[in-house]
Amino acid sequence: MSRPELIKKEIFSIAEYVPGKSIEEISEGYGLDPATIIKLGSNENPLGPSPAAVAALIREAPRANLYPSADARELRVALSKYTGLPVSNIVAAGPGMDGLLDGLCRLLIEKGDEVIIPTPTFAYYELPARACGGKAVFVAREADYSVDPEKVLALESERTKLIFLCSPNNPSGNTLPEKDLRLILEKTKALVFVDEAYVEFSDRNFASLVPEYDNLIVGRTFSKVFGLAGLRLGYGLMPEWLLREYMRAATPFNVSLPALKAGIAALSDKEHLQKSIEMAREGRKVLGDTLPFKVYPSQANFVLVDVFPLKSKAVVEALLKKGIIVRSCDSFRDAGDSLIRVTVGTPEQNEKVIEAFGVVKRL
């Protein structure tokens, strides 16, 4: 028995989010020892979390009976120091930056509203927008995956509420030029969400623009450089007027106490942060110089590889058999069928990836 008539109509139009494959799935599916599997499909930090964050988690475990502060104030104070912005511009968000996107759509999107999404990009943006009755309007990125600001602006309508820009973009790794962002911010009546999930690996960030514009939101996460994807912790930088409204719509206590404390500890461990950044920067150069296919220049902790004339699915499958998990981009809208996203691993992991791609190329 089921009662689909009770479900909102919008939900039936949502294509399910396709996550990267897990170690358990691959171990079971291919009969491999989980300890030998290299997971480079979800842009996680191969160094793991900061030891300071792990210690904070252990320290907080006995206090898990207590609610955290409703607005994660202590974490926002730490983030204020980290970003250089006042606490009044910062929201902490769980679960992850995805939670921030959910909260914003809950606040902004009514039936018939529109969001603009330059593709290919992170696939989640359209899901909460659609679930709230919104419509996603897509614009294809250029051949080098840059965004043409005029094309974005040309799609704006009376119903446009949000424009999603990702910098560095997932899966292409390129950043958005500041002048293009400013042009969009200045011409649009909508809010502009800049997703900076990978910002620490890049040479450009837009936090300092938040106090300048009343329509800029920057989304950030602890899932990538801080190695805390499993804790589901993110944050947003936004104008004060919007933050006040956001807090009305957001779920209280959405950041758990252990996540809050681990986040503060992670921000304080500059050594782990630096090591993680350097490893990704060096590794992406090695992959770019050595992989036997076209590799796009990246400002993130992953590289985009074009295996044309081979098909990404077949190559990913061949690598999976060797215990290497990378991401075929065929589920990303407008990404075609020959692109693979590879997370930068440790130097040893990268060596194995290079060797495996070499074998695939010779097949």
| Residue from 128, 234, 236, 283 binding ligand PLP (CB under 6 A) | 234
Complex with ligand PLP: residue 113 or 195, whichever CB lies closer? 195
Complex with ligand PLP: residue 72 or 197, whichever CB lies closer? 197
| Residue from 89, 170, 188, 312 binding ligand PLP (CB under 6 A) | 170
Structure tokens of 21?
Answer: 């494959």
Q: What angle do CA 212, 190, 100 make, to 5 degrees?
A: 80
Q: Which of residues 249-288 bind ligand PLP (CB under 6 A)?
A: none
Complex with ligand PLP: residue 68 or 120, whichever CB lies closer? 120
Please identify, among the stretches 64-72, 95-103, 128-136, 349-357, the one whose residues bind ligand PLP according to the rule CB under 6 A: 95-103
**Rounded Cα–Cα distance for residues 153 and 188 (Å):** 7
Q: Report, in Å, the least distance between residue 233 CB and ligand PLP.
A: 7
Beta bridge partners, 193, equal 164, 217
| Residue from 53, 85, 92, 197 binding ligand PLP (CB under 6 A) | 197
Q: Is residue 43 a contact residue for ligand PLP (CB under 6 A)?
A: yes
Report how many residues bind ligand PLP under the rule CB under 6 A: 13
Q: Is residue 166 a contact residue for ligand PLP (CB under 6 A)?
A: yes
Footprint of ligand PLP (CB under 6 A): 43, 96-98, 122, 166, 170, 195, 197, 221, 223, 229, 234
